[in-house]
Structure 1
Amino acid sequence: MRIRQATNGHFMIFGRVKMRRLEGKMQHVVELEGLVAHREASMEIRRRFVKEFTELLPRRLMIAEDNDLLSFRFTAEWAEVVAKYILGVAAAMSGDLDVSETLYRDAQERLTQKDKTFGIYRVLSERLPLRIAELYEAKASWAYREWLNTFADELLETFRESLNKFNEMKVPVTLRVRFLLAIKLFVCDRDVRGALTALKPLKNKFDPLWNYNMAFLKGYSGDLKSAARHYRYASKSEIDADILIQIEEFLFWIIEKEPAKEHVHFCLGMFYQLAKGDLVSSVNHFELFLKAKNIASFPAEAALATSWIEEIKKDASWPAIPFSPA
């Protein structure tokens, strides 16, 4: 540890070599240890990291004396590829995603010249595409979160590009990526049908995030009856307050970008009533919905909105607070 700190190194392999007679032959017994620097991580992540480190770089090797030159060279090349991979993992754990990708890609390039029948090379060849895909998933998640704060076009482009690169890796799609792909299909392409198809395998009426996504897509496309049903299901389960803020900001962004979609005010009315318990905002968005130019296309929902407004306003605690849409 002191040597690593003194050299400002991120990764060290060290150990000792002994000569022993084993099974009638002289053998080099190589005992290895390793150190890698990374940011603080949870105990579970650290356990997985240590397991992977040990799996790819065993702590004890035996090399026959009669073939030691080639064997030591092979071991050095093997250790170099493993080192790049392990450093890539450590960089990803530390949030240095670009550095991590460079290391992973370098390790992947070196493996193209290696014999994949060797177990560790085979494992690395299978694992690297998954690790690189994880980076793109993390980049896409980061870009989307930041975009919700600023709605900057360059962040949306990073979001799109990261998901496209994820798809190029030809790896299994995680649940989070399915949600992100659905978001991409709508936000970047306005492909409502494609977004609904992406969400279909995730169907779970008890999952509030799935329901909020479905509610918006159905509502945006004009199926307000289905949207109302999904908002009701979503409101029955707990969800992180930050996600509710993101949903709220996203709905306002849509109204700002597409003012002709006046029926989206119905979605906001449902959202404020059921998700946030903000009856003032709920009533005002229902009233904006009732003023929509295409309100005649939604007679059932217009009647519901009217009855909800009347019911809310009958409450003795109803405040007379002026409202101006964001």
Structure 2
Amino acid sequence: MTIAYETWLKVKFLISRKLTFITLQIVILLSFLMRIGFLVTNSNTPIIKLLENSKDLIVNNFIITLLIDLSLTFLWLFYRRLPRVKGKEIGIIFAIANDTEYIKDKIKKDFIEQVLEQIRKIGLDIKIHVLSEYHTEKLLRNHSLLLRYHRKTNARFILVGKARVRVHKKKDAYAIELNESVMHGNINNELRRELIEDMLSIFPRISMINLEEEFTGFQLTSNIFSFGSLYIIGLSLLYSNRIKEAYEIHRRVLFYPITVAQKFLSARIDKIKNSTKQIIIEEIRLQVYEEYNKDDRIDFKKIGSLISEAECLNHENYNLFTLQAIYYFKVKDLEKSFAALHKASRVSDGDYTWIYSEAFLYGYVGELDKAYTCYKKGFRHNAVKNVHIQCEDFILDVLEEEPEKYQLNYCLGLLYYFHHNDFVLAKERFEKFIEQGMKSGEYDRYIEFARNYIEEIESSE
């Protein structure tokens, strides 16, 4: 029966090919011409008169031929059609070949529909489609077509594989062999490698389900696939810069309900959930920065809510602490901002980006000695690329909003002088600091330092 079914699949695949379809079209046309030729050769009547007398018969034959041709064309197109996920909707496509109609029905009801049900339970509207046997066989024969199928269907995630009955540990079992493909934006090789490693660690290449325990087996398999596919889809959305959608999906992954029957998978599930926590914090960070960079009014309530959520997820995350520092500065809780940077310094792992923020804060509160010490330390150590430019832009924005914090011109001068060697801009900022400091009668010591820097710049010109 298995051999017969596989043979039938090959026949159906052959029938669906363009060349076979064109051949059938030619055969239909030739059959029509042959009927006309048979009518002519079996009559002694002159051809012209015969055609005139048989006009209705010829027309009827032509209409029948045309209807057959159109029906065949419609069925051919229908069988070859591909589902299409609309716009920015998220879609999963299954392309699973089966040995028998019974297995096909089991896969549909106990696996695919279970995956859909699990996804809907956590409140996500994700479209699920099943490819026809023609397209399934096509993908199984050539996995390199997956990218083309992603583009044609606009599906975010495609599962391709086979399901069959095999003997496993001396018992009959369903063997479900699947390969996964996910659509994402342009990413570097390191991220692509991490994504592949995540997929390999989440999804088993072959799932064996004993026929005697098929209900529980399919339930567990569908759960791990729905759980894992959401995690991977969220990553692909993040890499495609669809941050809010990725964040919403990963939040649901984090709180995905685990049944008692799934406890033996707890190690794998815990690993995914721990990774999800770190990813959510990154997604929160990106949303917060996006909020800060808005042209209109910043929603600090939203930022505070996001940061509070991040705090609940992980208390030892470097990015979280730097986010807290920025947020608390924006709401003018400087004590908490300093405390967040102190925490960041403990988990920085050699990244001294945090110290530039601390230098800024010291400059903001007027402790220029400490600001200088922090900047000099930062210049000697590693930090995120372009952090100095970000610091300069941030200070300029603060000066525009709070011109009374003119001492920040001294901080800008230090950045231009020591890090960029841009002596023109350094001199300009030191002069502004001196001018405003002389008027207010503050920072006499640092005014003297600024004058010394200007003298050094002028002597080197």
**Unpaired segments ≥5 residues, structure 2:** 1-145
Whether 1:184 and 2:184 are equivalent positions in the alignment is no
Instruction: Judge conservation of contact 2:243–2:287 (CA < 8 Å) in 1.
Output: no
Q: 1:82: Cα distance to partner?
A: 2.5
State the partner residue of 1:75: 221
**Alpha-carbon displacement from aligned partner over 1:209-261 (angstroms, at most 9, x marks no partner):** 33422221111112111212223333445767743332222222222222222
State the partner residue of 1:21: 167
The 5 Å alignment of 1:151-300 reads 152-154=296-298, 159-168=303-312, 170-186=313-329, 188-201=330-343, 202=345, 209-236=353-380, 242-290=386-434, 291-292=436-437, 296-300=441-445
Instruction: Judge conservation of contact 2:231–2:276 (CA < 8 Å) in 1.
Output: no
Select which of 84, 91, 94 maps to 2:230.
Answer: 84
Select between 41-50 and 218-227 the one with higher mean Cα deviation: 41-50
Q: 1:160: Cα distance to partner?
A: 4.2
Q: Percent identity?
A: 22
* CA pair 16-154 structure 1, distance change in 2 beyond 3 A: same
Q: 1:165: Cα distance to partner?
A: 2.5
Q: 1:143: Cα distance to partner?
A: 4.3
Quick check: which has more Rg, 1 or 2? 2
| Letter of the 1:299 counterpart | D
* CA pair 44-277 structure 1, distance change in 2 beyond 3 A: closer
**Alpha-carbon displacement from aligned partner over 1:74-120 (angstroms, at most 9, x marks no partner):** 323332232222222222222222222333344455x3252275343
Distance 2:188 2:400 in 1: 41
The 5 Å alignment of 1:76-115 reads 76-108=222-254, 111-112=256-257, 114-115=259-260
Instruction: Judge conservation of contact 1:181–1:195 (CA < 8 Å) in 2.
Output: yes
Distance 1:7 1:102 in 2: 23
Q: TM-score, normalised by structure 1?
A: 0.79
* CA pair 41-280 structure 1, distance change in 2 beyond 3 A: closer
Select between 74-83 and 121-130 the one with higher mean Cα deviation: 121-130
| Letter of the 1:261 counterpart | K
State the partner residue of 2:457: 312
State the partner residue of 1:54: 200
Distance 2:334 2:439 in 1: 20
**Alpha-carbon displacement from aligned partner over 1:173-208 (angstroms, at most 9, x marks no partner):** 33233222222221x22233322222224168x865
Distance 2:286 2:306 in 1: 9
Instruction: Judge conservation of contact 1:39–1:94 (CA < 8 Å) in 2.
Output: yes
Instruction: Specify the SS of the correspondent of 1:31.
Output: strand
* CA pair 281-156 structure 1, distance change in 2 beyond 3 A: farther
Q: 1:60: Cα distance to partner?
A: 1.3
- Number of matched residues? 311
Distance 1:58 1:197 in 2: 44
Distance 1:123 1:298 in 2: 59
Distance 2:441 2:167 in 1: 92
Q: 1:63: Cα distance to partner?
A: 1.8
